[in-house]
Amino acid sequence: QSVLTQPPSVSAAPGQKVTITCSGSNSNIGGNHLSWYRQVPGTAPTLLIFENDKRPSGIPDRFSGSKSGTSATLDITGLQTGDEATYSCGAWDSSLNVVVFGGGTTLTVL
């Protein structure tokens, strides 16, 4: 359903590392910058990573992003229970002329 593909859920223990993937095509991830957003249920998304690998001020370096070809990853290290949220990727799609989003990945910190 979503133009960008993400796993529905990931989980890991506190202190561990988790990787969330986002897969697309040449018209979106392959040709444009990618952002990652964090959303706690019942609240608005917030920007986590922009332009593939940049962190806004206030985002700790435990969060990192990368992009290769038509895929991107979000790494979260030193997991904390407060990191539980849904993480979504988003990018401009040059063919559809819209911002496209992934379906969101729900992170559970066990």
Residues that bind another protein (CB under 8 A): 1-2, 32-33, 35, 37, 43-47, 50-51, 56, 88, 90-92, 97-104
* Residue number with CB closer to another protein (56 or 78): 56
* Residue number with CB closer to another protein (32 or 79): 32
Burial class of residue 82, CB neighbours in 10 A (0-12, 13-18, 19+): exposed
SS3 of residue 83 by DSSP: helix
Give me the least distance between CB of 96 and another protein, in Å please. Answer: 8
Give me the least distance between CB of 15 and another protein, in Å please. Answer: 30
* Residue number with CB closer to another protein (71 or 86): 86
E strand spans, 1-110: 9-12, 18-23, 34-39, 46-49, 63-68, 71-76, 85-93, 98-101, 105-109
* Residue number with CB closer to another protein (43 or 81): 43
